[in-house]
């Protein structure tokens, strides 16, 4: 079969077992119509699927998230992708580590294994095609030549639609324990950390600087979903379209230190966030990333507006 032009096939780190992708998440919220409006305004494809909503990137078949209705906003489970040949060794690893395998939730279609992490988050690891990038994602930078107009009129500005799901950040009472669990069980590696305040972890088969991050809190919880876009212009336009949709609270525009991505966060109706992100660092499959332990002042952002105090609050801990 002729290879598609521009397609980069996934590669596997030889002799090592570990998840290759953050493949999907499941979320519950008190009102599906509120969720539909927020995520549609953000630029995602939101589809009715039975009694739930599916979250997609426009024009692509992969479902990145499922939103169901529940008494409060809560991350129901996280699904990671694994190469097929690694499923049996992964199951053995769970047994060797004393991690109890669970039955899938009622109604779930699953070819993988289910268990709980150190914070009681429900985790699925399943055989799936690699959905994390196989190379650093492209970033669009354009400057108009002299004599030409570089920006569109505000009324003609295009709507922003993310290209893919990038990562999530979870609150945890113990960052070190979360690092240890996701390293020894899921086979992920530490990218960078700041003591026991925050940590970022990547997949060993080639991924962004982080697929999952952990931030210190008194209780577990979900802080944000991050979505990749193609430019700083897209981040600004995304912030504009959310403001016009009535979602004004957030933080940005800025640039992070750890991961290096440009960002703008929009607060969702439940006190957590969605991030427009571009130009994040990438860890190739054959790269042994030099993980650092950074001072707090060198671990959050290089530039941007002052961080609002509520940005680091765990809304689920107060629910």
The whole-number pLDDT of residue 109 equals: 75
Above 80 in pLDDT, residue 318? no
∠ CA 122-125-128, nearest 5°, is 140
pLDDT tens digits, 149-203: 888 888 888 899 999 999 999 999 999 999 999 999 999 999 999 999 999 999 9
User: Which whole-number Å values give the CA distances from 318 to 101, 218, 220, 279, in the listed order?
Assistant: 30, 10, 11, 33
Give the mean pLDDT of the chain: 94
Split at pLDDT 50, 70, 90, the class of 141 is: confident
Rounded CA gap, 305 and 253, in Å? 7
Split at pLDDT 50, 70, 90, the class of 2 is: very low
Percent of the chain with pLDDT over 70: 97
The predicted model gives 263-288 an average pLDDT of: 98
Closest residue by Cα to residue 158 from 273, 270, 240: 240
pLDDT tens digits, 226-253: 999 999 999 999 999 999 999 999 999 9
Q: What is the β-pairing status of strands 74-82 and 113-116?
A: unpaired
Split at pLDDT 50, 70, 90, the class of 7 is: low
Above 90 in pLDDT, residue 107? no
Specify whether the CB–CB gap between 111 and 126 falls below 8 A: yes
The whole-number pLDDT of residue 111 equals: 74
The full set of domains in the chain, from first to last, is 21-127 (3.10.180.10), 162-318 (3.10.180.10)
The predicted model gives 134-157 an average pLDDT of: 89
């Amino acid at each position: 079969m002729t290879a598609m032009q521009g397609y980069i096939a996934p590669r596997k780190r030889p002799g090592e077992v570990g998840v290759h992708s953050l493949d999907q998440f499941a979320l519950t919220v008190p009102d599906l119509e509120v969720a539909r409006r927020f995520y549609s305004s953000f630029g995602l494809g939101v589809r009715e699927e039975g009694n739930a909503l599916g979250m997609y990137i426009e024009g692509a078949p992969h479902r990145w998230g499922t939103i169901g209705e529940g008494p409060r906003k809560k991350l129901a489970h996280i699904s990671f992708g694994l190469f097929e040949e690694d499923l049996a060794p992964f199951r053995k690893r769970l047994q060797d580590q004393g991690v109890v395998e669970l039955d899938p939730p009622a109604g779930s279609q699953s070819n993988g294994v289910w268990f709980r992490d150190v914070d009681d988050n429900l985790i699925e690891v399943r055989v799936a095609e690699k959905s994390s990038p196989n190379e650093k994602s492209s970033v669009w930078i354009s400057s108009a030549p002299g004599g030409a107009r570089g920006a569109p009129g505000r009324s003609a500005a295009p709507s922003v639609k993310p290209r893919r799901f990038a990562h999530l950040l979870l609150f945890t009472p113990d960052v070190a324990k979360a690092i240890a669990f996701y390293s020894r069980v899921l086979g992920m590696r530490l990218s960078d950390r700041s003591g026991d305040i925050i940590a970022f972890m990547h997949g060993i088969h080639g991924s962004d600087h982080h697929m999952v991050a952990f931030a210190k809190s008194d209780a577990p919880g979900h802080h944000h979903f991050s979505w990749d876009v193609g430019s700083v212009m897209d981040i600004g336009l995304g912030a504009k379209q959310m403001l016009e949709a009535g979602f004004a609270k957030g933080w940005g525009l800025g640039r992070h230190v750890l991961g290096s991505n440009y960002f703008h966060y929009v607060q969702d109706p439940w006190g957590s966030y969605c991030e427009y992100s571009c130009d994040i660092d990438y860890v190739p499959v054959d790269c042994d990333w030099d993980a650092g332990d950074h001072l707090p002042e060198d671990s959050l952002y290089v530039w941007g507006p002052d961080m609002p105090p509520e940005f680091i609050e765990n809304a689920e801990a107060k629910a």
